[in-house]
Copies of this chain bind each other. A is one copy, B any other.
Amino acid sequence: MVSAEDTGDAAAGETLETPGRLERLPSRLLAIAAAEAERVVGAGLAAADSRKWHYAVLASLGEFGPASQAALSRRTGIYRSDMVGLLNELAERGLIERTPDPDDRRRNVVTLTELGRSRLHDLDAVQADLQDQLLTPLSTNEREQLVEMLLRLREHHARTSPDSWGT
């Protein structure tokens, strides 16, 4: 992630313009916007000793209650292989607890601790701030339009194929 100005060593004296074909290419703009979002949100959450996946898991637990790791995987879109390490991080911070499920000994029941719940609350505020920061140049109306359109894209492509995620 580097500005167009310093991808090479430094600009000599050229125009430095991006080709017209790329300038307004939706897929490219989406990639750029997503990268910006990643940067803004990633940095903001890191400053709060958190990551987007932390928020996703905490939110899932906060809204649906205790769940198995596999259920968390499905709801958040995080691979169950990666969920292991993620939950370790959250457990280290005392935000969740893993206990074996007595009803199904294959499973762990993941529970939000009190600290985790208050942390989620804090992160809600952080997130709101970051999203606001990200969308600064858009009016309230436009933000809604944007979200609406993106939801429609998501829904459309969900039929024909898979997705990845990102907070």
Residues of A within 8 A of B (CB): 1-5, 7-9, 11-12, 14-22, 24-41, 52, 55-56, 59-60, 62-64, 70-71, 73-80, 124, 127, 130-131, 134-138, 142-143, 145-147, 149-158, 161-167
- The residue that A167 contacts in the complex, of B20, B31, B74, B164, with Cβ under 8 A, is B31
Copy number in the complex reads 2
Selected A-B contacts with CB under 8 Å, 10 pairs? A1-B164, A3-B163, A15-B64, A22-B76, A24-B147, A27-B38, A27-B40, A31-B34, A31-B164, A145-B149
A112 CB → nearest B CB, Å: 12
- The residue that A19 contacts in the complex, of B39, B63, B142, B164, with Cβ under 8 A, is B63
